[in-house]
Structures are given as C-alpha cells and as structure tokens.
Chain A
Amino acid sequence: MTTVIEVQHLTKRYREQNALDDVSLELRENVVYGLLGRNGAGKTTLMSILTAQNFATEGEVPVFGEDPYENTRVLPRVCFVRESQKYPDDAKPGHAFAAARLFFERWDQELADDLVKAFGLPVNRRIKKLSRGQLSTVGVIIGIASRAEITFFDEPYLGLDAVARQIFYDRLLQDYAEHPRTIVLSSHLIDEVADLLEHVVVIDGGRIVIDEDTEDLRGRAATIVGPTDAVSAFTAGREVVHTQSLGRTTEATVLGALSPDDRAALAAAGLDLAPVSLQQLVVRMTQRATDSPGAGARAASRAGAGALGLADTDADTEALR
C-alpha cells in the first residue's frame, strides 16, 4: 500500500517540555487510523504539524513525499479542522461551507447539504451562537464533505449527543466506503470508535506507544465470560487487564494470545469468548509503556490505573511486545 505520510524522528519542544518526542510513523493510503491518547498526549500537536499549521522542532514530515509547509501541491489535498476551530466573526455555517467549497477541489455540496439535514444543523445561525455540539458538527461536515485525500478529525464528537455521534460514525464510514481516503480520527472515547478503526496509533507523553493494525492488537488479548469460579481458575497466573462481575458471572480480559490448549480448556470449563474491549487493552498497554524503564515515572497515570481497577502486575510484559 502507498504511504501518504512518513513521520521521521519528529520532535516538538515547548520550552522545557517535549510535546512530541522522537515520533516516527507511517500513514498509508485509504486506511482509517485511530490516533488515541489521553488529553495532552500530543495528538493535536502531531496533526497540526502534519498539516503545516504548526512546526517541528526536529524531524521531517513528508506528506505525499513533500514538505507540506506553504506547499500548494500538498495542502489542498489535506483537511484538518481543529477541535477548537475558529471561524470569521459573524459567519454562519452556510458561509463556512461556501468557503470550504472554494478551496477543496473534491468538495461535495450535495453531501454537505445532506449532512446538514441529518445533523439538524441550523445553517443560518451565527457560528458564535451555536452550541458546542453544533460547532463540532460544522467541523465534522467540512471534514467529511471536503473528501480530502487525508482528513484529520480532532476529537470530532465534543458536545455531540449519542445520536449525533452515531450519525457521524455511520456517515463517515458510508462515505469512506464509497470514496476511500486516509482518515485520522483522534479520540479518547476509544470503545466508541473502535469498530471504525483499521489501525491504531496510541500516543502518550509525546511518544508512540502502540502502532498496530486493530485486528492484531485485539489478538493480543482475550475476553473470557462465564461462572466466576471457572473464570478465576482460568485466569490464575495470567495478566488480567480488566474484570467485571454481574451476579455469579464474570468477564475477564487477559493479555496474551490463546493457545489451542487454552481453547480446549475454555470449552471444557464451559467458558465463552467475547470481543476484547480495545479501550481496556489500550489503557493497559499505555500504562505499561509509561511504567517501563526509561519512560520516566508518571505518577498521574499510575493513579489512573488504580482508579480504573487495573491490577498492578509484575508479569513479564516484554514477552507480549
């Protein structure tokens, strides 16, 4: 598959803090990426640099093989609407879409109109009077209707209710199926977007901690469901990422691919396999990456692990990497 962006040893330094620390990453054509990470992990900074809205301190970010900065061969093929996007004073959503239509060659007005209807966006109300969710909708519609070859969505669901979020996921997927392109979806609502993602990039403290196809990532763990006693017996000695009990039934996610013996044992014990929660997996693996030597102690994320009920284990983590 063709590579559209090749991030090479990208570092962004703000005074004493590294917002991005030696990031190397390859984005391919026509793939939906999830750029996951906690608030302040460096997601927006990375996307800003890839679209020449911000600048690297060190490293290169060729987009379609060229430096995107002030590059009219690259920029019109890229769309990045920020989560805190600003619009001209007194502009209405209709103005914003008319402007986007001027600059994005593949802009589809019919699609934009259709999305406006689907989201119920008031196009004639001034943008500064819109609610947070409606403001997000303006950016989402520009992102989808621009059909840019590389489209970045920066936490696009902020302020959107569950119904609107579902419309966004459905319409994005539908349009992606008809018009494939590279989509980068930054999010911290991991489980909600999990089904959309073909590839997961997790960034933490400015460093890439996971860069893997979603299926492979899910294969690194298994979720077992069944009677509490039987589940405990099976998970004994394994690294448990997450457990949840309801009555006498327990659901546990353990790290490590299952062997044929494991599967036989599961069947014998009357235990079932359930889909792995990408969120639990990412949280656990992020934890591990930050706890590993060299990454520096991050007290805050350790506290976070406790709050999430994650077992602190000394299991041989490297075996799984």
Chain B
Amino acid sequence: MNRILKVVRLQLIQKMTFVWIPLIVVGGSLLVSILIWAMIPPGGVKYSGGGQAIVWYFVAIGVQALTLTFPFSQALSITRRDFVLGTLLMAVIASAAIATLFTVGALVETATGGWGVNGTFFRFGWLWEQGWWAAWLAYFAAPFLLFTIGFASAAIFKRWGTVAVVATGIGLALLGVGAMWLIGALDAWPSVLETLAGVTAASLALLGVLAAAVLSISPYAIMRRAVP
C-alpha cells in the first residue's frame, strides 16, 4: 500500500497537471460563461456547457499518465502493478475533488441566483432530482470514466500501436451498431426508449463507474508486457 501511495505522491509532485490546470479550466470556463450571460438580455435561465471542458481534459491526463509518466516510473524502478494502481487511485482522488468542486459550485450557483445573471453552469436539474449525492456521483463518474478511457487507449497504443487503437474504436462502434440492429430485430425500441427515459442520475453514474472499473483492469493486463 505504501508503495501505491508513493505513486500518488509521484503524480502530485508536479502540481500543474492534477491541481492547477483543472482549476484554471473550470474557473476560466465559468468566467467566460458569466461574461457571456451578462451580455445576453435578461430572460429565462441561461445554460452553459462549459463545465464539460474539464471532463475532456481527463482524457488527456489519462493518456499522459501512461505515455510520459509510465516511462519515468520505470526509471524509478516502480513495478507496473504499483504504477497502475497508484495512478488509478490518483484519478479517483482527482475525480472526487472535481465532483466536490462541482457540487459546492452548484450550491453557490443556487445561492447567488445563477451568479447574479441567472446562469446555470454546475446545476443541471435532472442530475439533482435524487439529491446532491446522486449529482456528486455523476460528477465523479464522468471524469473518472474519461480518464480510464484515455489510460486504456494509451495502454493499447503503447503496446500495439496506432492501428490497434483505431481497430478497437471501430470494433466498439460495430458492437454498438450490432446492438442497435438487434434491438430493431427484436422490435424492442419502445421498451428500450422507455427504459432510457427512466434512467436516473444515480443509476447512470453507477453505470459509468462500473464501466470505468472494467476499463481500469485493462491497462494493467496490457501494461504487464509493455516496454517504456
């Protein structure tokens, strides 16, 4: 355990990646959103999708954790297992921090009447239907899932190259199309749509965490034989 925590500290030695850049991205997109809302004549609630910017950033850190930090971890004689576990723990911590930031941000948003300009940056109604905890879980699941997508793709790239990454993407798309065909063939669209309409924030978030957990296993399996 101690060695895994050291990997977390290794990832945090350089605070830019996991601390300052996420804060700058969230703060910057919020500021831009508020300025734009202020220019729009008052009316109904104004929405901004700026909050998702940070989530996509997690794909990039997932990729970099592998392509750059993994070779460095090898120079520090860290085992692959400790590196993968420590890095995933780091992603969990960072995602939890983002989730907390968004939850608190949403509360502030409500308290200040949408930052004084009736804007919505953090608090999307549907996510909050079940309460703050479901929203927190959704805010946690999104960056964590995207981190593991980046991490797993980079692991595939590192071990087998670009073609393998593209092939995996196409393979997954084909599976999706196959599922759609199956649903059509079974005449199941109405019931599927009904189920989708009934999806709650919490169940979607749990699904995301589950997918992320599955994706987390793959990097270690792949990295076992990867060369830095």
A residues bordering B, Cβ < 8 Å?
48, 51, 53-55, 70-72, 75-82, 85-92, 95-96, 98-100, 102-104, 139, 142, 148
Enumerate B69-83 residues with CB–CB distance to A below 8 Å: 69, 71-72, 74-82
Cα of A91 to Cα of B71 in the assembled complex, Å: 13
Given contacts A53-B228, A98-B13, contact A72 B64 (CB under 8 A): no
Contact A55 B79 (CB under 8 A): no
Cα of A102 to Cα of B79 in the assembled complex, Å: 14
Cα of A88 to Cα of B68 in the assembled complex, Å: 5
Contact B78 A82 (CB under 8 A): no
Of A53, A85, A88, most buried by chain B (CB within 10 Å of CB) is A88
Q: State how many angstroms separate the Cβ of B61 from the closest Cβ of chain A.
A: 9
The 22 sampled A-B contact pairs (Cβ below 8 Å) are A53-B227, A54-B227, A71-B79, A72-B3, A80-B77, A81-B75, A85-B75, A86-B67, A86-B71, A86-B72, A87-B72, A88-B72, A91-B13, A91-B14, A92-B14, A99-B10, A99-B72, A102-B76, A103-B10, A103-B77, A104-B77, A139-B75
Chain A residues within an 8 Å CB radius of B68: 86-89
Chain A residues within an 8 Å CB radius of B80: 70
Contact A88 B228 (CB under 8 A): no
CB nearest neighbor in A for B9: A102
Contact A75 B64 (CB under 8 A): no
Chain B residues within an 8 Å CB radius of A51: 74, 77
Chain A residues within an 8 Å CB radius of B16: 90
Cα of A88 to Cα of B67 in the assembled complex, Å: 9
Cα of A102 to Cα of B11 in the assembled complex, Å: 12
Chain B: how many interface residues by the 8 Å CB criterion?
A: 27
Given contacts A54-B227, A103-B6, contact A89 B77 (CB under 8 A): no
Kindly list the 3 A-B residue pairs having the minimum CB-CB distance in the complex, ordered from nearest: A86-B71, A75-B77, A103-B76
B110 CB-CB contact with A under 8 Å: no
Chain B residues within an 8 Å CB radius of A89: 17, 64, 68
Cα of A91 to Cα of B75 in the assembled complex, Å: 15
CB nearest neighbor in B for A76: B77
Contact A90 B17 (CB under 8 A): yes
Q: State how many angstroms separate the Cβ of A253 from the closest Cβ of chain B.
A: 39
Chain B residues within an 8 Å CB radius of A95: 13-14
Given contacts A98-B13, A103-B6, contact A70 B77 (CB under 8 A): no
Contact A88 B14 (CB under 8 A): yes
Given contacts A86-B71, A86-B228, A89-B68, contact A102 B10 (CB under 8 A): yes
Chain B residues within an 8 Å CB radius of A55: 225, 227
Given contacts A54-B227, A90-B16, A90-B17, contact A103 B71 (CB under 8 A): no
Cα of A98 to Cα of B64 in the assembled complex, Å: 19
CB nearest neighbor in B for A48: B227
Chain A residues within an 8 Å CB radius of B77: 51, 75-80, 103-104, 148
CB nearest neighbor in B for A91: B14
Cα of A230 to Cα of B66 in the assembled complex, Å: 65
Contact B74 A70 (CB under 8 A): no
Chain A residues within an 8 Å CB radius of B11: 88
Chain A residues within an 8 Å CB radius of B67: 86
CB nearest neighbor in B for A82: B75
Chain A residues within an 8 Å CB radius of B228: 53, 82, 86
Chain A residues within an 8 Å CB radius of B17: 88-90
Chain B residues within an 8 Å CB radius of A142: 75
Cα of A142 to Cα of B74 in the assembled complex, Å: 13
Q: State how many angstroms separate the Cβ of B51 from the closest Cβ of chain A.
A: 24
Chain B residues within an 8 Å CB radius of A100: 76
Cα of A290 to Cα of B14 in the assembled complex, Å: 48
Contact A88 B64 (CB under 8 A): yes
Beyond the given pairs A54-B227, A102-B13, 20 more chain A to chain B contacts, judged by CB atoms under 8 angstroms and listed by A's residue number, are A51-B77, A53-B227, A70-B80, A70-B81, A72-B3, A78-B77, A80-B75, A82-B75, A82-B228, A85-B71, A86-B72, A88-B72, A91-B13, A91-B72, A98-B13, A99-B13, A102-B9, A102-B10, A103-B76, A104-B77
Q: State how many angstroms separate the Cβ of A206 from the closest Cβ of chain B.
A: 17
Chain B residues within an 8 Å CB radius of A92: 14
Q: State how many angstroms separate the Cβ of A96 from the closest Cβ of chain B.
A: 7
- Binary contact readout B19-34 vs A (1 if CB under 8 angstroms, 0 otherwise): 0000000000000000
Chain B residues within an 8 Å CB radius of A86: 67-68, 71-72, 228
